[in-house]
Amino acid sequence: MSFSKFVSFVLILHLLNPTVVLSSSFLSSSNGWSEIPKKFLHFAKGPELVDWIVGIRRKIHENPELGYEEFETSKLIREELDKMGIPYKYPVSVTGVVGYVGTGKPPFVAIRADMDALAMEELVEFEHKSKNPGKMHACGHDAHVSMLLGAAKILKEHLEELKGTVLLVFQPAEEGGGGAKKMLDAGVLKNVDAIFGLHVVPDQPIGTVASRPGPLLAGSGFFDAVISGKGGHAAIPQHSIDPILAASNVIVSLQHLVSREADPLDSQVVTVAKFLGGGAFNVIPDSVTIGGTFRAFSKESLTQLKQRIEEVIKGQAAVQRCNATVDFYENEKPVPIFPPTINNKDLHEHFQNVARDMLGADKVKDMQPLMGSEDFAFYQEAIPGYFFMLGMRDDTGPQLKSVHSPYFMINEDVLPYGAALHASLAARYLLAAEPKYHSPKEELHDEL
């Protein structure tokens, strides 16, 4: 991006008014805009564009990179934006990229894709499988990036439909690194009115979407605990203080936080997924390490769980004559606790209108909240945001495995759907929001 273009965007962002919240009347599809989603999907399904999006996805899949290490992925994104003539800001939060399509004037709306892979070995036999040992795109972020680039191409080819500016947010480090928080702290969404994000899912049919207003995904946090006793011979346990016994009691007691302390209507989960202790059959170890996650749909519940997890671990260890230390990674992880993902209710109506116009009413599903977490929630804490699931199951093809599996695969037929939905949600949002910027005050700012 040229320096002069970037300066102009910064000036516009500085002068704009605060976030616009759309009323339901503005979000209806009865204003002559209902043809946009089908037009964009038809364009996205063109053979040339499909081949291009698939090619992008495969390049990214072959070269998975972990959080804040997505340098080659970021380079590929910038090269493609350059080819399209789309200006961008880089670097943002180490490897992030933010592109701009449209008039360069308000209103502003953002669409987001995460870029990072997971630290796991790919076990799929695939011509374009990972070339980086111990790293794999096992959560679909390669598809998310290629779909956002596809949306950029759709929007660039339909500039006449854009009554404002779309920000293309390519974000690093979603997988536990808090990349969304870093992007937000960098100011990329200043004066942006709304943001949309999606995630591919293997259990919903291709050409369908699912979401809900309000809480969609849980907030989450991590914990580790070291329980220390006194090691010794397994034949004479009375001379030892057994940390394995203490840890076992801790794990059982932690489950009572949900079953006996939480409101049954307030979904919570505490999972101990790590237990490390001892290395011999006949030796009681000096210490045991356990670790896991806790999840809930409100910050209040997360705070309460965090407090009680520490109290239970230390208290139960003391009952068994052991000592315990608890670490919530507050000094190590960029974001130790992720907030819940809560969808804006007005944007839910907007999403349903756009998705129904594109896919048909029977393809737009309501879903129950899930206990997984997503750092898209940080954007939603700052501005209205909406997150949805994009199905990719094809019952005539291979059975798709769940995300975070070494056998996870992408049904590449999903790619044009995601690209067209991104573009349609953004374009239609701008059409609805643009009339609110026609006061003399905003016109004066535009002239500046």
CA–CA dist 431, 320 (Å, integer): 65
Nearest to 205 by CA among 400, 348, 38, 355: 400
- The position carrying tokens 């929001």 is 433
Phi-psi region of 164 (alpha: psi -120 to 50; beta: other; left: phi over 0): left
**C-alpha distances in Å from residue 222, one per residue of 7, 326, 329:** 40, 10, 7
CA–CA dist 199, 209 (Å, integer): 10
Angle at 156 between CA 154 and CA 162, to 5 degrees: 95
- The position carrying tokens 């200006």 is 87
CA–CA dist 106, 112 (Å, integer): 18
State yes or no: 404 annotated in a binding site.
Answer: yes
CA–CA dist 251, 81 (Å, integer): 50
State yes or no: 141 annotated in a binding site.
Answer: yes
Strands (E), 142-187: 165-171
- Give the residue ranges of the annotated binding site for Mn(2+): 139, 141, 175, 199, 404
- Give the residue ranges of the annotated binding site: 139, 141, 175, 199, 404
